[in-house]
Chain A
Amino acid sequence: MRSAAATVRANGETARVLLRTLLVRGVPAVAVLLLAIIAGVIIGEMPISARTVGMVLANNLWGAGYPVDPIDAGIIWSYRLPRTLVAAACGAGLALSGVVLQSLVRNALADPYLLGVSAGASTGAVAVTILGIGGGMIGISAGAFVGATLAFVLVALLARAAGGGSAQLVLAGIAGSQLFNALTSFFIAKSANAEQARGIMFWLLGNLSGVRWPDVWLAAPAAVFGLLTAMWFMRAMDAFTFGSSSAASLGINVRRVQAMLIGATTLMTATMVSLVGSIGFVGLVIPHAMRFVVGPRHARLIPASALAGALFLIAADVTSRMLIPGQVVPIGVVTALVGAPAFALILIRNRKRT
C-alpha cells in the first residue's frame, strides 16, 4: 500500500521519467516517421528533387510562395503526400490491430487479415458501394465496420465452438475469410457492372492509387485513436499474458477491456480497409519483428509496432509504385510477397516452442 505523500513523490518521479522517455524515444520516433514520409514523397517514377518537395511543402504549409512547377506541386501535394500519409496511418493501424488481437486471444497468429476481419470489412464496404446502402465515404466506412464486427463475432464463436484452441482460431479465421470473400464476390457478380467490378477487384487487393486528402482525415485520426486506446490498456494487455482468468485475478475487468480493444481494432481495420482495401500480413509480421527488437511488454511493443507498421507500409507503397515501370502493383501484393514467407517462418518457430 502507498501513503499519499509517497504516491505524490512517486508521481513526481515517474512524471519526470515519462517526460524523459517521451523525449528520448518519442522525438526520434516522430523524426524517423517524418523522414520516411518525406522519402515516400520524393521517391517515385517521376523523380522530384528533395528541394522541390521542400518548397512545395513550405508553400502549402505556411504559404512561403516559392516558384515551383504547378505539375510538380500537384503531384507532390495532391497525390504523393496524402498517399504516403494514408500508407503510414494504415500501416500503424494494422500493426496495432495485430498487437491487440495477439494479446487478447493469446495467439501469435492473430491478425485482422487472418481472422477474417479484413474480409468482413471488405464485404461491408462492397455491400455499401454496390448495393447502394448509405453512400459517401462515411457510409462505406460504416458498412466496413459492420462487416468487420460481424466477421469477428462469427469467427470467435466458431473458434469457441470448435474447442477454443490456437489452431481452431486460425482455422475459424480461414473459414470466415472464405465465407466473406465469397459474399463479396457474390455481391459483385450480382450487382456490379464490368467497370465497377474491375475497380473493386483492384481495390480489394489493397490499393492506394485513389487516395486523396479527405482519406487522410479519416485514416490519421483512426490510427491515432487506435494508438491511444492501445496505450491506455497496455497494462491490461500485459495482464492477459497468462490468460483471461489470470488477467481477471490481477484486477482486469476482462469483458470491458476485451470489448473496448476489439471495438477499437475493428474500427481501425474497417476504416483502413474502406480506404485502401485489405492489406495482409502487416498486423502479423510487424508485431512479431518488434517483439524481437523491444520484447513482449506492451509499453514498448505498442509504440514500436505502430512506428514500424507505418514505415513498412510507406516502403511497401514506394515499392508498389516502382516495381514494374509504368504500372502500379497493388500494395497488398507487395506486403504478401514479404509477409507470406515471414508467416511461414513464424509457423516454424512456433512449432519449435511448443
Chain B
Amino acid sequence: MRLTTQDVGWNRSSKPIIEGITLDVQPGETLGLIGPNGSGKSTLLRLMAGLLRRPRGQVFLDGQPTETLSRREMAQRIAFVEQLAETSEALTVRDVVELGRTPWLSALSPFGPQDEAIVNEVLDAVGMAQMIDHSWDTLSGGERQRVHIARALAQRPQLLLLDEPTNHLDIHYQLSLLRLVSTLDVTVVMALHDLNQAMTCDRLAVMDNGRLIICGAPADVLTPERLASVFRVRATPLHDPTDNSTILRFHSIEDELI
C-alpha cells in the first residue's frame, strides 16, 4: 500500500510540534524515521495512523484521503505499535494478540477458526507461540514488545507503523524483527534510534525539530555533515568484510572539543 503525506503538521495548543512534512512511501517499502529525541517521530507516526485530532495537510492511502475512511476501515489497513502501551489487566498473550482481529470482527462475524489460525501464525512469526498462555504481567519488556508486534500483524495490515520497535529487545530479536519486517509484503514506516539498524531500511527520513530534513537512501542521508548537524556525532565508517557492508562508529562531538 502506498502512503503519501502532503504538507502535514500538528499543533499542540497552538505550538507546532511537526510541520510541513511531505513524504511518499512506495508499496512494500520500508521507511526508517530517524532524528533526535523530541524531533517529532512519534507524533508523525500518530498522525499517519489517524490518531491526532485536527491535523493539518492530508494523508493518502493508495491515493485515497484517510479522512474519508472510518476508524474501522483505517484499522483494516494500518496497524500501529506504539511506544509504551501497557495494561494492568491479567490478559494472556493470546488475549492480546486476539485484539488485533478486532477491526475484522462484528456481531455478525465473530471470532472464528480463521482468526485463530492467524493468531497462531503471527505468534510463530515473532517467536512467542510457546508462551501463548502466559499472563501479560509475567512477560519481560522484550516479550511484551513482540506480543504487540504480533497483535499488529494479526490485523493483517497493508501498512505497518512501528515506533521504536527494537526497544527492549535483545540483540537476537532486534535482528530477527528487522528481518521479519523486511520480508513482510507490507509497507512499513518505523521510527528507529539505532542508526546502524536504520541503515537496513530501504530509505530513511530524517526529522529534526518537527521538520523533515531529508528523505533518501541511507548512504545518501547519513553523511558526516548531517550526522554532525542533526545528531551531534562524528561517525567513522567501518567496513565489515563478512557481508561487505558499512557500519558506523560514533564519537560524541563534545569529546573532541576537549
Binding site for B on A (CB under 8 A): 1-2, 6-7, 10-11, 13-14, 18, 106, 108, 232, 235-236, 238-239, 241-243, 245-246, 248-254, 291, 295-297, 350, 353-354
Of B12-20, B98-106, B184-192, B239-247, the one with at least 4 CB within 8 A of chain A: B98-106
Binding site for A on B (CB under 8 A): 46, 49-51, 70-76, 78-80, 82, 85-91, 95-96, 99-100, 102-105, 107-114, 137, 155-156
Task: Tell whether A295 pairs with B90 under 8 Å between CB atoms, given A2-B114, A7-B109.
Answer: yes
In the complex, how many angstroms separate the beta carbon of A244 from the nearest chain B beta carbon? 10
In the complex, how many angstroms separate the beta carbon of B119 from the nearest chain A beta carbon? 14
Cβ 8 A contact of B108, one of A11, A238, A297, A353: A11
**Interchain pairs with CB closer than 8 A, number:** 92
**Does the CB pair A251–B109 fall under 8 Å?**
no
In the complex, how many angstroms separate the beta carbon of B102 from the nearest chain A beta carbon? 4
B95: chain A residues at CB < 8 Å are: 238, 295-297
In the complex, how many angstroms separate the beta carbon of B188 from the nearest chain A beta carbon? 15
| Contacts A/B (CB < 8 Å), 6 sampled | A246-B85, A249-B80, A250-B75, A250-B99, A251-B71, A296-B89
**Does the CB pair B82–A245 fall under 8 Å?**
yes
In the complex, how many angstroms separate the beta carbon of B156 from the nearest chain A beta carbon? 7
**Does the CB pair B74–A242 fall under 8 Å?**
no
Task: Tell whether A18 pairs with B90 under 8 Å between CB atoms, given A2-B104, A235-B102.
Answer: no
Given contacts A235-B105, A252-B71, 11 further A-B contacts (CB under 8 A): A7-B109, A10-B114, A236-B102, A238-B95, A241-B87, A245-B46, A246-B82, A250-B99, A252-B102, A254-B71, A354-B88
A239: chain B residues at CB < 8 Å are: 99, 102
Quick one: which of B73, B87, B90, B112 has the most chain A CB within 10 A? B112
A7–B74 Cα gap in the complex (Å)? 21
Residue of A whose beta carbon sits closest to that of B78: A249
In the complex, how many angstroms separate the beta carbon of B3 from the nearest chain A beta carbon? 15
**Does the CB pair B99–A13 fall under 8 Å?**
no
In the complex, how many angstroms separate the beta carbon of B112 from the nearest chain A beta carbon? 4
Residue of A whose beta carbon sits closest to that of B137: A353
**Does the CB pair A249–B90 fall under 8 Å?**
no
A2–B113 Cα gap in the complex (Å)? 11
A251: chain B residues at CB < 8 Å are: 71-76, 102-103
A241: chain B residues at CB < 8 Å are: 87, 89, 91, 96, 99
Residue of A whose beta carbon sits closest to that of B46: A245
A295: chain B residues at CB < 8 Å are: 90, 95
In the complex, how many angstroms separate the beta carbon of A9 from the nearest chain B beta carbon? 9
A14: chain B residues at CB < 8 Å are: 109-112
A18–B112 Cα gap in the complex (Å)? 11
A245–B81 Cα gap in the complex (Å)? 11
A13–B100 Cα gap in the complex (Å)? 21
A242–B51 Cα gap in the complex (Å)? 14
A2–B50 Cα gap in the complex (Å)? 25
A2–B108 Cα gap in the complex (Å)? 13
Quick one: which of A18, A232, A296 has the most chain B CB within 10 A? A296
**Does the CB pair A242–B86 fall under 8 Å?**
yes
Residue of B whose beta carbon sits closest to that of A231: B107
**Does the CB pair B100–A250 fall under 8 Å?**
yes
**Does the CB pair A250–B102 fall under 8 Å?**
yes
B89: chain A residues at CB < 8 Å are: 241, 291, 296
Quick one: which of A11, A243, A249, A252 has the most chain B CB within 10 A? A249
A248–B66 Cα gap in the complex (Å)? 14
B75: chain A residues at CB < 8 Å are: 249-251
**Does the CB pair A6–B74 fall under 8 Å?**
no
A260–B200 Cα gap in the complex (Å)? 46
Residue of B whose beta carbon sits closest to that of A7: B109
**Does the CB pair B109–A11 fall under 8 Å?**
yes
In the complex, how many angstroms separate the beta carbon of B104 from the nearest chain A beta carbon? 7
B91: chain A residues at CB < 8 Å are: 241, 296-297
In the complex, how many angstroms separate the beta carbon of B185 from the nearest chain A beta carbon? 13
A295–B50 Cα gap in the complex (Å)? 32
In the complex, how many angstroms separate the beta carbon of A191 from the nearest chain B beta carbon? 44
Residue of A whose beta carbon sits closest to that of B87: A241
B88: chain A residues at CB < 8 Å are: 106, 108, 350, 353-354
Task: Tell whether A10 pairs with B90 under 8 Å between CB atoms, given A238-B102, A249-B51, A249-B78.
Answer: no
B104: chain A residues at CB < 8 Å are: 2
A232–B70 Cα gap in the complex (Å)? 19
Residue of B whose beta carbon sits closest to that of A251: B75
In the complex, how many angstroms separate the beta carbon of B160 from the nearest chain A beta carbon? 11
**Does the CB pair A245–B51 fall under 8 Å?**
yes
Residue of A whose beta carbon sits closest to that of B106: A235
In the complex, how many angstroms separate the beta carbon of B122 from the nearest chain A beta carbon? 15
In the complex, how many angstroms separate the beta carbon of A231 from the nearest chain B beta carbon? 9
A253–B103 Cα gap in the complex (Å)? 11
A238: chain B residues at CB < 8 Å are: 95, 99, 102
In the complex, how many angstroms separate the beta carbon of A272 from the nearest chain B beta carbon? 26
In the complex, how many angstroms separate the beta carbon of A248 from the nearest chain B beta carbon? 6
For the complex of A and B, list the 10 residue pairs with the smallest distance between their C-beta atoms, beginning with the closest.
A251-B75, A251-B103, A10-B112, A251-B72, A296-B89, A242-B85, A249-B80, A250-B102, A241-B87, A14-B110
**Does the CB pair A250–B103 fall under 8 Å?**
yes
Residue of A whose beta carbon sits closest to that of B92: A295
In the complex, how many angstroms separate the beta carbon of A342 from the nearest chain B beta carbon? 18
B73: chain A residues at CB < 8 Å are: 251
A296: chain B residues at CB < 8 Å are: 89-91, 95
A251–B72 Cα gap in the complex (Å)? 4
**Does the CB pair B71–A10 fall under 8 Å?**
no
